[in-house]
């Protein structure tokens, strides 16, 4: 069957619900008050918009319910207290727990660690369980439903771990709208019940939109926009592999409307160039046609001069026409490569080979497309020889392409890697959890930390190459601290202290980038006093290329003036 025949357009038909047995008690009286909680402790480290919940809220509000969206780990130093308080005062009938991630997926954060700590993955479900309990105590009569990308990868395991009875697997817009409209729960698409056989098989591909955004989120880590859902591939380690190659496209006009609204709203709040993240598993799979339509649409609507965008890409397909369009529309491509050794690519079920990688690198260079790429060493089939081949590829790359790599692959439940892991227990490190819910890592030919040390020795002379990612245990909380001070909510740190941290301690970004992100948060929330101090602090650094020092000096004065005006207004109001 051709790949095309898997693609549906726009809204998918509802699959039958996996919930059997007695419908939930709240069917008789539809839940009118819905509390959506972003159950995501990682917001402390890398705050992103609770986009899944924003989409769900849009659909649930359109169905007539009253909705509150809470991001406790971002806005509060006391997330459990804040969640309890919100649940007590809002008195929800239905609580939606948005579980975007179940762990941070960072296998090796430290090159040296005690032998009894072979991996560094932080497992977040224990913290999420405490949040669930706090909400349950504060709103004992509310029904609780879980959902989200992390949850949907292993729904039954999560329900069991969290002690939650119901969850929605995959897209939650339609399901939550139906739950809040009094539709019998056993007719709700994608709804699964704890203890039943159905899990990932219930995955929903439905689309809603355009999404109404929550004004809490500043553009510091870009605004996500989904253009398609699911994936046409089944790479060995990936949670998307569990969908069995199912995927669907969003309607192009709806996607464009969402981008247009997002850009317009951000420009009204003073953002010059609005960063968008196309939040698809891979933007160019199963083919380029949908992505080309989206990019052409951006250009036709005159949006590209006000925005930049980024997305994850498979190395194929990538035509010259597409490359040109990416550059013209201010795109940045993050390419999921994993390995450059053909033998390993085959074992990992990757749909491309080394020759495609070489052709792509040439094409990106010819068209001046900005790019980075990601590698995973230690997958099934990895040997000293395949490692040498991938290192050879990395060394052949132009220095302008940033490369991030990880060692060892987190084994997620139900993936092809989970089946391999059961046959090769000698390659596993981490917990002894046979379900693979708690972190277990597969790595060969050496355990992940040893592999990381060896690669570090071989790659440390390349300035464009680094180990992947932000880990929960060691990631800085600078940006979420900035949010809390800007919102004046439980902020324990002073603004000056935050700017100093931004300038000195962030190993992931340049000082000026982190300070600029804090400035954006302050501006977004109309805190011109904080923005003015941040602009002054930024002037002491090498400012990012998109800003000039003269502009920044002017902006600093302007923010100072606006802050004075705010103070004067406050005095007059007294």
The residues binding ligand SF4 (CB under 6 A) are 231, 233-235, 238, 240-241, 281-282, 285, 314, 336
Residue 529 beta carbon to ligand B12: minimum distance, rounded to whole angstroms = 27
In terms of DSSP bridges, do strands 191-193 and 409-410 run parallel, antiparallel, or are they unpaired?
Answer: unpaired
Residue 232 beta carbon to ligand SF4: minimum distance, rounded to whole angstroms = 7
Q: What is the rounded CA–CA span in Å between residue 231 and residue 242?
A: 10
Q: Of 50 and 391, which CB lies nearer to ligand B12 in the complex structure?
A: 50
Quick one: how far is CA 177 from the chain centroid? 23
Burial class (CB in 10 A: 0-12, 13-18, 19+), 332: middle
Does residue 469 belong to the site contacting ligand B12 (CB under 6 A)?
Answer: yes
Calculate the CA dihedral of residues 198, 200, 205, 211 and round it to 10 degrees.
Answer: 110
Indicate which single residue of 93, 103, 127, 288 sits in contact with ligand B12 (rule: CB under 6 A): 103
What does the per-residue mask of binding to ligand B12 show for 238-277, with x meaning CB under 6 A? xxx------------------------------------x
Does residue 161 belong to the site contacting ligand B12 (CB under 6 A)?
Answer: no
The string of DSSP codes covering 75-121 is H-SSHHHHHHHHHHHH--SEEEEE---SB---S-S-SS--TT----P
Indicate which single residue of 93, 120, 127, 173 sits in contact with ligand B12 (rule: CB under 6 A): 173
Indicate which single residue of 31, 118, 224, 351 sits in contact with ligand B12 (rule: CB under 6 A): 224
Quick one: how far is CA 311 from the chain centroid? 11
Quick one: how far is CA 54 from the chain centroid? 14
Indicate which single residue of 12, 17, 46, 314 sits in contact with ligand B12 (rule: CB under 6 A): 46
Q: What is the largest CA-CA distance in the chain?
A: 74
Does residue 512 belong to the site contacting ligand B12 (CB under 6 A)?
Answer: no
Q: How many other CB atoms sit within 10 Å of the CB of residue 317?
A: 18
Q: Of 149 and 543, which CB lies nearer to ligand B12 in the complex structure?
A: 149
Residue 224's binding partner, choosing from ligand B12, ligand SF4, none, with beta-carbon cut-off 5 to 8 A by kind? ligand B12
Q: Of 336 and 386, which CB lies nearer to ligand SF4 in the complex structure?
A: 336
Q: Of 238 and 391, which CB lies nearer to ligand B12 in the complex structure?
A: 238
Contact set for ligand B12, span 289-328 (CB under 6 A): 312
Residue 314's binding partner, choosing from ligand B12, ligand SF4, none, with beta-carbon cut-off 5 to 8 A by kind? ligand SF4
Distance between terminal CA atoms of the chain?
71
Burial class (CB in 10 A: 0-12, 13-18, 19+), 454: middle
Residue 247 beta carbon to ligand SF4: minimum distance, rounded to whole angstroms = 9
Residue 124 beta carbon to ligand SF4: minimum distance, rounded to whole angstroms = 21
In terms of DSSP bridges, do strands 428-430 and 465-467 run parallel, antiparallel, or are they unpaired?
Answer: unpaired
What does the per-residue mask of binding to ligand B12 show for 520-539, with x meaning CB under 6 A? --------------------
3 state DSSP class of 66: strand
Residue 235's binding partner, choosing from ligand B12, ligand SF4, none, with beta-carbon cut-off 5 to 8 A by kind? ligand SF4
Enclosing H/E stretch for 9: strand 7-9
Indicate which single residue of 35, 67, 102, 143 sits in contact with ligand B12 (rule: CB under 6 A): 102
Q: Of 336 and 532, which CB lies nearer to ligand B12 in the complex structure?
A: 336
Stretch that binds ligand B12, among 38-46, 79-87, 425-433, 500-508 (CB under 6 A): 38-46
Residue 316 beta carbon to ligand SF4: minimum distance, rounded to whole angstroms = 10
Residue 374 beta carbon to ligand SF4: minimum distance, rounded to whole angstroms = 10
Q: What is the rounded CA–CA span in Å between residue 505 and residue 363?
A: 37
Indicate which single residue of 7, 19, 24, 42 sits in contact with ligand B12 (rule: CB under 6 A): 42
Indicate which single residue of 71, 93, 104, 127 sits in contact with ligand B12 (rule: CB under 6 A): 104
Q: How many other CB atoms sit within 10 Å of the CB of residue 88?
A: 12
Residue 567 beta carbon to ligand B12: minimum distance, rounded to whole angstroms = 33
Q: What is the rounded CA–CA span in Å between residue 192 and residue 18?
A: 5
Indicate which single residue of 7, 31, 52, 337 sits in contact with ligand B12 (rule: CB under 6 A): 52
Indicate which single residue of 60, 83, 143, 176 sits in contact with ligand B12 (rule: CB under 6 A): 176
The string of DSSP codes covering 421-475 is HHH-GGGEEE---TTS-S-EEE--SS-HHHHHHHHHHHHTT-TTEEE----TTT-
Does residue 404 belong to the site contacting ligand B12 (CB under 6 A)?
Answer: no
Does residue 15 belong to the site contacting ligand B12 (CB under 6 A)?
Answer: no
Output helix, strand, coil percentages for the chain, rounded to the nearest 5. Answer: 45, 15, 40
Omega within 30 of 0 (cis) for the link into 286? yes
- Asked if residue 220 lies in contact with residue 40, where contact means CB atoms within 8 angstroms, the answer is no
Number of residues that bind ligand B12 (CB under 6 A): 47
Q: What is the rounded CA–CA span in Å between residue 75 and residue 535?
A: 23
CA neighbor of 148 nearest in space, from 262, 220, 55: 55
**Would you tell me which residues interact with ligand B12 (CB under 6 A)?**
40, 42-43, 46, 48-49, 51-53, 55-56, 96-98, 100-106, 145-150, 152, 168, 171-173, 175-176, 221-222, 224, 226, 238-240, 277, 279, 281, 312, 469-470
């Amino acid at each position: 069957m051709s790949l095309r025949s898997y693609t549906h357009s726009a809204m998918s038909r509802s699959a039958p619900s996996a919930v059997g047995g007695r419908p939930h008690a709240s069917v008789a009286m539809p839940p009118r008050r819905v509390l959506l909680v972003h159950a995501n402790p990682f917001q402390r480290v890398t705050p992103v918009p609770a986009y899944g919940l924003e989409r769900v809220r849009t659909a649930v509000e359109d169905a007539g319910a009253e909705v509150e969206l809470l991001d406790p780990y971002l806005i509060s130093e006391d997330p459990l207290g804040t969640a309890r308080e919100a649940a007590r005062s809002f008195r929800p009938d239905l609580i939606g727990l948005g579980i975007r991630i179940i762990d941070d997926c960072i296998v090796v954060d430290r090159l040296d660690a005690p032998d009894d700590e072979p991996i560094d993955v932080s497992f977040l479900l224990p913290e999420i369980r405490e949040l669930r309990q706090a909400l349950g105590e504060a709103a004992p009569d509310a029904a609780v439903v879980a959902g989200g990308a992390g949850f949907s990868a292993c729904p039954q395991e999560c329900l069991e771990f969290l002690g939650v009875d119901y969850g929605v697997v995959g897209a939650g817009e339609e399901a939550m709208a139906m739950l809040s409209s009094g539709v019998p729960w056993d007719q709700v698409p994608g709804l699964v019940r704890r203890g039943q056989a159905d899990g990932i098989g219930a995955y929903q591909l439905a689309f809603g939109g355009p999404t109404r955004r929550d004004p809490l989120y500043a553009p510091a880590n870009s605004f996500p926009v989904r253009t398609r859902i699911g994936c046409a591939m089944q790479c060995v380690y990936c949670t998307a592999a569990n969908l069995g190659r199912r995927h669907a496209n969003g309607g192009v006009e709806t996607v464009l409307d969402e981008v247009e609204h997002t850009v317009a709203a951000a420009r009204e709040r003073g953002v010059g160039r609005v960063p968008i993240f196309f939040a698809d598993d891979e933007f160019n799979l199963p083919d380029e046609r949908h992505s080309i339509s989206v990019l052409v649409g951006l250009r036709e609507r005159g949006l590209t001069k006000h925005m930049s965008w980024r997305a994850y890409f498979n190395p194929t397909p990538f035509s010259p026409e597409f490359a040109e369009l990416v550059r013209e529309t201010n795109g940045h491509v993050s390419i999921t490569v994993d390995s450059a050794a053909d033998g390993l690519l085959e074992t990992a079920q990757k749909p491309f080979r080394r020759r495609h990688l070489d052709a792509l690198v040439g094409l990106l260079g010819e068209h001046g497309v900005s790019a980075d790429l990601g590698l995973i060493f230690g997958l099934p089939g990895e040997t000293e020889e395949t490692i040498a081949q991938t290192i050879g590829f990395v060394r052949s790359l132009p220095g302008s392409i940033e490369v991030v790599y990880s060692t060892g692959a987190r084994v997620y439940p139900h993936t092809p890697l989970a089946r391999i892991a059961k046959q090769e227990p000698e390659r596993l490190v981490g917990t002894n959890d046979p379900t693979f819910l708690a972190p277990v890592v597969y790595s060969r030919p050496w355990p992940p930390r040893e592999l990381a040390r060896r690669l570090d020795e071989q790659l440390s002379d390349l300035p464009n190459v680094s180990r992947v990612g932000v880990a929960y245990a060691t990631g800085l909380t600078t940006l979420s601290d900035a949010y809390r001070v800007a919102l004046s909510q439980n902020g324990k740190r002073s603004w000056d202290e935050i700017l100093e941290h931004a300038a000195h301690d962030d190993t992931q970004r340049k000082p000026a980038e982190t300070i600029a992100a804090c400035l954006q948060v302050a501006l977004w929330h109309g805190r011109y006093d904080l923005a003015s101090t941040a602009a002054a602090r930024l002037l002491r650094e090498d400012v990012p290329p998109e800003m000039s020092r003269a502009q920044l000096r002017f902006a600093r004065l302007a923010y100072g003036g606006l802050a004075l005006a705010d103070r004067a207004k406050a005095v007059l109001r007294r």
